[in-house]
Amino acid sequence: MDKKVAALIDKYGVTERTLTFLRAPMRQYINGQFVVAAESMQVLEPSTGALLAEVPSASTEDVEAAVKAARYAFDEGEWSRWKPAQRERVLHRLADLVEENLQTLAEIESLDAGKAIEGCKAVDIAGSIDLLRYMAGWATKIDGATRPVSVEGEHFAYTLKEPVGVVAAIVPWNWPFNMAIWKLAAPLAVGCTVVLKPAQQTPLSMLFFAELCAEAGLPPGVLNIVSGRGRTIGNDLVSHPTINKVSFTGSTEVGITVGKAAIENINHLTLELGGKSPMLVFEDADIQKVVDATQQSIYFNTGQVCSGGSRLYIHRSIYDQTIAAIAERASNMVVGDTLNPETEMGPAISAGQKQTVMDYIGIGLAEGARLVCGGKDPGGEGYWLQPTLFADCDNSMRIVQEEIFGPVLVAIPFDTEEEVLALANDNIYGLAASIFTRDLSRALRLIPKIESGTVWVNTHDMIDANTPFGGVKQSGIGKDMGPEQLEYFLETKAVWIAL
Ligand code: NAD
């Protein structure tokens, strides 16, 4: 660990367990064993750009061993023979351990992913605990159906729900722990086994979670965690011939490659991909709710939020005052050290991501958008950005059409409901959208016409373990969370018995 990172830790203090974890050699988790890799890679702390940890860079052989362990645990191991209630108990134990280690996990995540710690605790870690418990409860409730049939003769027909098998799970760096739990809780609950690869920038919280899995008594091979690069071992994993399902969260570009690999082996596939989510603000909207929604989406997590409300359509009659209110709040956000409980926004994840965002700001200026606030490079060590708002944009601008994945909001005025609906749907993505109005009839009229996986009314970016999340169009295929997610890890077998 670089001395700049050590100084940060000294300044704010962390738990003994965080220190112990960060000081020990980092290891992958394969077949219930903590294993080192022949090669390593560096993980940087985003607010300083300095070395946080050296982590294993998995080899093809490591992936092979992890898939073999998961295959054995599914085909021959304890997991597949356990009663559903036993799986439920272990998942609850795991949730309890995550809760006991909430502070440690948030500290690790905050240092690794540049996340403001209070938001990380409340959203990333607490949300993950809820989802683990929610899915634990489903372990005992997976059932098929009896089917009356009309063919000649006497038959008893029914359906059996069976776990699909070995799941290859790939997650991005923007919610490293939370996205990983989204990927593993449902398949483990229904009896699948999993090999999970965190993003190369942010593997630490999952490497720590492996310790909790061992403590919880998860049998060997049921969950395997390999850390390494996407294009090499990520690809090895999703194209492995003996897995049964690919569950991927990340960019649309990589999702297409991953999807092709899955289909080569006729494997099950879930893709949770990018977004450019619209917020439709009507003349009767509560402007404070709009401001709050920008805080909980596009300016939360430094705008590295797949469903962040990044396109803002405001009725012309309240355009200027809404822009002013958002700019006032955004300009006063507390941007700073991620371990500081006062901090609202940390840095971008990497130098590359910061550069991408700065490039888009340059594109926005060149396209003629009006910069209302932010947009400057704050400089300094680390990958800092400013909460940024562009007004007077046009729907054809690249900053309006493309996913920037940073704290950059673009605003456009509109006059009619038909006009704003067309503008909102004029995008390749369809992850989420929100409508701000006091007119319930208008909201109910618009909800079915909006092309997105989620629609919020008078809020944005609310999620819960019991509601499905996933996009349409180029935002993906399938759902995470809610009872809907379980189906994506189950096969339905039809059974006929001639009586
Ligand atoms: P990314 O697509 O670059 O990487 C995602 C993961 O894929 C990483 O673990 C990476 O190592 C791996 N990977 C890269 N190439 C691979 C390959 N050829 N085969 C297998 N794995 C490979 O995405 P990112 O930059 O980490 O994350 C940001 C993106 O994720 C944004 O587009 C964001 O919208 C999206 N995202 C979507 C959701 C959702 O639920 N829809 C949630 C979070 C993030």
> How buried is 426 (Cβ within 10 angstroms: 0-12 exposed, 13-18 middle, 19+ buried)?
middle
User: What pLDDT does 249 receive?
Assistant: 98
Say what the alpha-carbon torsion angle 419, 421, 424, 430 is, to the nearest 10 degrees.
-160
Residue 170 beta carbon below 6 angstroms from any ligand 1 atom: yes
pLDDT beyond 80 at 80: no
Mutate to test the pocket of ligand 1, among 249, 260, 454 (most ligand atoms within 8 A of CB): 249
pLDDT digits (tens, 9 = 90+) for 95-141: 999 999 999 999 999 999 999 999 999 999 999 999 999 999 999 99
Band the pLDDT of 78: cuts 50, 70, 90.
Answer: confident
pLDDT digits (tens, 9 = 90+) for 463-483: 999 999 999 999 999 999 999
Report the percentage of the chain scoring pLDDT > 90.
98
User: What pLDDT does 190 receive?
Assistant: 97
Band the pLDDT of 382: cuts 50, 70, 90.
Answer: very high
User: What pLDDT does 176 receive?
Assistant: 98
Q: Which atom of ligand 1 is nearest to the CA of 257?
A: 18
Residue 41 beta carbon below 6 angstroms from any ligand 1 atom: no
Q: Centre a 10 Å sphere on the Cβ of residue 105 and count the other Cβ atoms it contains.
A: 29
Helix pair angle (126-138, 176-190), 10° resolution: 10
**Strands 166-170 and 193-197, sheet pairing:** parallel
Mean pLDDT of the chain: 97
Asked if residue 88 lies in contact with residue 218, where contact means CB atoms within 8 angstroms, the answer is no
Hey, what are 299's tokens? 């300016």
> Across-strand partners of 44?
51
Please name the residue ranges forming H helices in 124-273: 126-138, 176-190, 204-216, 235-238, 252-264
Asked if residue 291 lies in contact with residue 325, where contact means CB atoms within 8 angstroms, the answer is yes
pLDDT digits (tens, 9 = 90+) for 25-66: 999 999 999 999 999 999 999 999 999 999 999 999 999 999
Nearest CA to 249 among 271, 267, 234, 226? 271
Helix pair angle (84-100, 126-138), 10° resolution: 170
Band the pLDDT of 335: cuts 50, 70, 90.
Answer: very high
Secondary-structure percent of the chain, ordered helix, strand, coil, rounded to 5: 45, 20, 35
| Å from CA of 137 to ligand 1 middle | 29
Residue 272 beta carbon below 6 angstroms from any ligand 1 atom: yes
The predicted model scores a pTM of 0.96
pLDDT beyond 90 at 429: yes
Q: Which atom of ligand 1 is nearest to the CA of 275?
A: 34
| Å from CA of 273 to ligand 1 middle | 7
Q: Centre a 10 Å sphere on the Cβ of residue 13 and count the other Cβ atoms it contains.
A: 10
User: What pLDDT does 414 receive?
Assistant: 98
pLDDT digits (tens, 9 = 90+) for 158-173: 999 999 999 999 999 9
Asked if residue 150 lies in contact with residue 135, where contact means CB atoms within 8 angstroms, the answer is no
User: What pLDDT does 81 receive?
Assistant: 80
306 has catalytic annotation = yes
Residue 176 beta carbon below 6 angstroms from any ligand 1 atom: no
272 has catalytic annotation = yes
Residue 257 beta carbon below 6 angstroms from any ligand 1 atom: yes
